Amino acid sequence: MLLRSLAPLLLSLACLTGCAAPRRVSLAEGPREYVPYDYDQILQRWTRTGTLVATNEFDDLLTVTSTFEAWDFRWAYSVRYAEDYRLTVEQRQELLDTTLAETRAEHRFYVALHGPNRRWNDLSRKDSAWVVRLIDDKGDETPARLIKSVKRPGALERTYFPYTNVWRQVFRVTFPAQRDDGTPSIAPDARWVGLRLA
């Protein structure tokens, strides 16, 4: 099984370093044997946080926490959601089939961020201070297909993405799984993939 490291969010305006080695994840498809209580562990596995700091001003410019909603994550999410909402066997299977099929067409991230200027940090605005790209270690860079603002995160977002709070702006960022020329947006032999906010 090819393992890939989900790199921390890359903020290209500053060098972003971490104390711990990146957690290894796999983009491989296939059945999983998760129970609802596995969700928190899987969420941690697929979530990264990065902070951009202006060292000359000792000021946090942007803090971003993002979860890559890959096959593995969506399987665990579906199991937990089905348990929480007491879905029937048929409803569970439909949810799982639908959400896993989406991973073949798109790469989606749940992004929560905060910074000193909410308007600049609204990723869904045409005049946002930030451009969002999906990148990998092979040099592939893909612009977002859709950035949707979650204006009022509710119980669902706060339950399944507990880093969501009133101080953060929340977005769903979607990238195509394949570019217009048919090449994959994440190289098959990529060792890591991440978001770049530049």
Identify the band that residue 122 occupies on the pLDDT scale cut at 50, 70 and 90: very high
3-class DSSP state for residue 5? strand
Looking at the chain, the whole-number percentage of residues with pLDDT higher than 70 is: 86
Q: What pLDDT does 102 receive?
A: 97
Alpha carbons 184 and 182: distance in angstroms, whole number: 7
Q: Is the pLDDT of residue 67 over 70?
A: yes
pTM tops 0.75? yes
Q: Please, which pLDDT band fits residue 53 given cuts at 50, 70 and 90?
A: confident
Looking at residue 187, what is its pLDDT?
94
Helices 89-105 and 71-84, packing angle to 10 deg? 160
